[in-house]
Amino acid sequence: MKVLVVGAGGREHALSWRISQSPIVKEVYVAPGNGGTELESLLTNVEIQADDIEGLASFALENEIDLTVVGPEDPLVNGITDRFNELSLKCFGPSKGAAQLEGSKEFMKDFLKRHNIPTAEYSTFDSTKKAIEYVEEKGCPIVIKADGLAAGKGVTIAHTVEEAKEAINQSLETKVFGAAGNRIVIEEFLDGEEASFIVMTDGAVVIPFASSQDHKALEDNDKGPNTGGMGAYSPAPIVDDYIHEKIMEEIIHPTLKGLRKDGYKYCGFLYAGMMIDKSGQLKVLEFNCRFGDPETQPIMMRLKSDIADLCNQACENRLSEQSLEWDQRKALGVVMASKGYPYEYEKGKNITNIPQERSDLKVFHAGTKIESGILQSNGGRVLCITSLGSSVESAQNKAYDALSEIEWDDSFYRKDIGYRAVAREKK
């Protein structure tokens, strides 16, 4: 089987790396890929951007691609699956209509409300004046979200009315998120612990993946602005068997039932980001219509089942209820980012001394490129150093030890990835 993986980030490196290990896969192409996928002997980069749907479709037809797996959200929201299906090409990812769950916060919140799926109280605005009046009425802390796709950066947790006003103005007036911020969703602040829960589905059958927890805030102790994610680990201790079943019953199954009822075809990964409070109550924070990044990296380190075969089964509507096989060790990934991220940062900085892959360690690349044989930074989030260990603390120590070997002057990273789980282990 020939497989095309669409995307250029750490998620796509991890997915394509795992797919390439499938006994049924002969060739794996990554479009456009990155420096890390270029260095993999079993992967071939293709110089087609992830948003070039017609270019990707032409490549798939010309090269007789058997399965396309879409990593990032933009092509899904723009209808890549619909276009591939028109050309009788198998594409693992939801339809354009279903991908609105991620493409529009307003659509998602209205969907949740309509189908009685628990989420935070909210209201939607395109008027700065009305948005500010709402915040003044509700008080703080409060959460301001750009309606559209903003690469994980369109969310502000405002602790004061002034902070909320600034976030509203940035979105609606200054247009820092472009068209994605023409409308905003303002919702109540939820207290608790976040967890990421990812399933794959053909629209009817659902297979849950191992739980995970990412770290969205830029700085240690969850301070600073939200990012695309500064690290993650799997499994998340907060998602015990009881919470797992509760997520499936209260969120996953009702969501897929609601999509079917509304007439949307959903075949792909579905990612639910949730807040779990001290009493075990759940509320949906967000949906992603693809695997999370950086959650994919630790999850793929632990996954033993054949992900390529599973995606192929789903595309053919023959996914069967089954349990996935997992490495019982814990996995943890730490993101190294370019200095200045998530704002302005420089590219083209040399990176050397990347640790060699081991059975318990893998450095996944996101924003990298190979220039004249030299590995260089080429994005905000650049590397994800991912390890396996008998405990989260063990995996954490391995990841940070490996990270310390990397030579890259213009980098930074959080030093506390996995802190909640480590604290739990010590109780």
Q: Over the stretch 170-200, which tens digit does the pLDDT of each residue have?
A: 899 989 888 888 989 999 999 998 888 999 9
For residue 116, how many other CB atoms are within 10 A of its CB?
9
What is the separation of C-alpha 349 from the centre of its chain, rounded to a whole number of angstroms? Answer: 25
Maximum mean pLDDT: which of 124-128, 333-337, 343-347: 333-337
pLDDT at 332: 98
Of 3.30.1490.20, 3.20.20.70, 1.10.10.10, 3.90.600.10, the CATH number of 330-425 is 3.90.600.10
194-224 residues labelled b (16+ CB within 10 A) or e (exposed): bbbbbbbbbbebbbbbbbbbbbbbbeeebee
* Predicted confidence (pLDDT) per residue in 91-122, tens digit: 999 999 999 999 998 999 999 999 999 999 99
CA distance linking residue 364 with residue 152, whole number of Å = 19
Task: Output the six-digit token pair for 87.
Answer: 């050309």
* Predicted confidence (pLDDT) per residue in 59-92, tens digit: 999 999 999 999 999 999 999 999 999 999 999 9
User: What's the average model confidence in pLDDT over 202-228?
Assistant: 93
pLDDT at 148: 84
Q: Are 147 and 105 within 8 A, CB to CB?
A: yes
Q: Which residue would you say has higher pLDDT here, 303 or 225?
A: 303
Architecture of domain 193-315: 2-Layer Sandwich (3.30)
What is the separation of C-alpha 415 from the centre of its chain, rounded to a whole number of angstroms? Answer: 21
Please report which confidence band the pLDDT of residue 226 belongs to, taking 50, 70 and 90 as the band edges. Answer: confident
Q: Which fold has domain 2-94?
A: Rossmann fold (3.40.50)
Q: Please check the confidence at residue 152 and state whether its pLDDT lies above 70.
A: no
For the chain, residues classed under CATH 3.90.600.10 are: 330-425
Q: Are 168 and 128 within 8 A, CB to CB?
A: yes
For the chain, residues classed under CATH 3.40.50.20 are: 2-94
Reported pTM: 0.91
Residue 178: left (phi > 0), alpha (psi -120 to 50), or beta? Answer: left
In terms of C-beta density within 10 A (0-12 exposed, 13-18 middle, 19 or more buried), how is residue 422 classed?
buried
Q: What does residue 170 show for φ and ψ, rounded to 5 degrees?
A: -60, -40
User: What's the average model confidence in pLDDT over 128-148?
Assistant: 91
| β pairing state of 43-45 and 122-125 | unpaired
Q: Are 426 and 239 within 8 A, CB to CB?
A: no
What is the separation of C-alpha 397 from the centre of its chain, rounded to a whole number of angstroms? Answer: 24
Spatial neighbors of 179 by CB under 8 A, at least 6 apart, are: 148
The angle subtended at Cα 173 by Cα 172 and Cα 174, nearest 5°, is 110
For the chain, residues classed under CATH 3.30.470.20 are: 193-315
Least confident interval from 13-22, 48-57, 270-279, 370-379: 270-279
Q: Please check the confidence at residue 258 and state whether its pLDDT lies above 70.
A: yes
CA distance linking residue 91 with residue 82, whole number of Å = 9
Q: Which residue would you say has higher pLDDT here, 368 or 152?
A: 368
Of 3.40.50.150, 3.40.47.10, 3.40.50.720, 3.30.1490.20, the CATH number of 121-188 is 3.30.1490.20
In terms of C-beta density within 10 A (0-12 exposed, 13-18 middle, 19 or more buried), how is residue 12 classed?
buried
